[in-house]
Amino acid sequence: MMVNNLGNAFAEAGLVDEDQVEETTKDLSNEPTEPTNTGTVKWFDTEKGYGFIEQEDEDDVFVHFSSVIGEGFKDLTEGEEVKFDVAETDKGLQAENVIKL
């Protein structure tokens, strides 16, 4: 990774600590992470492109078709199990990175 090489050069020159190079490299890593929440599609309107996901013992979460990961037409089916991340917006909870199970 170019950042790591540049960071190592700064460390070798004594401009930064080696610990700082490691931390910077980790911070710049954009590795995708697995969504952490699971739930069931409560309902999804294919024409409008949105619906809600039920979480066990948690509030329902709004889901928009643009948050569904996958190829082709992005829709969800009532009762379908999904994994997702939750973002808090000014309108409430919203699902992101939705993966069908």
Q: Using one digit for the tens of pLDDT, what is the confidence trace for 17-69? A: 766 666 544 455 566 688 999 999 999 999 999 999 999 999 999 999 999 99
- 92 in the same domain as 52: yes
- Count CA within 13 A, CB hemisphere, residue 7: 16
Q: How confident is the model at residue 73 (pLDDT cuts 50, 70, 90)?
A: confident
- 41 in the same domain as 82: yes
Answer whether residue 7 shows pLDDT above 70.
no
Answer whether residue 9 shows pLDDT above 80.
no
Answer whether residue 3 shows pLDDT above 60.
no
Give the range of the structural domain holding residue 94, as residue numbers without chain letter.
37-100
- 27 in the same domain as 41: no
Asked if residues 25 and 71 have their Cβ atoms less than 8 Å apart, the reply is no
Answer whether residue 91 shows pLDDT above 70.
yes
Asked if residues 40 and 34 have their Cβ atoms less than 8 Å apart, the reply is no
3-state secondary structure of 51: strand
Domain of 86, CATH number, reads 2.40.50.140
Number of domains in the chain: 2
- 78 in the same domain as 49: yes
The pLDDT of residue 25? 47
- 43 in the same domain as 13: no
- 95 in the same domain as 74: yes
- 26 in the same domain as 45: no
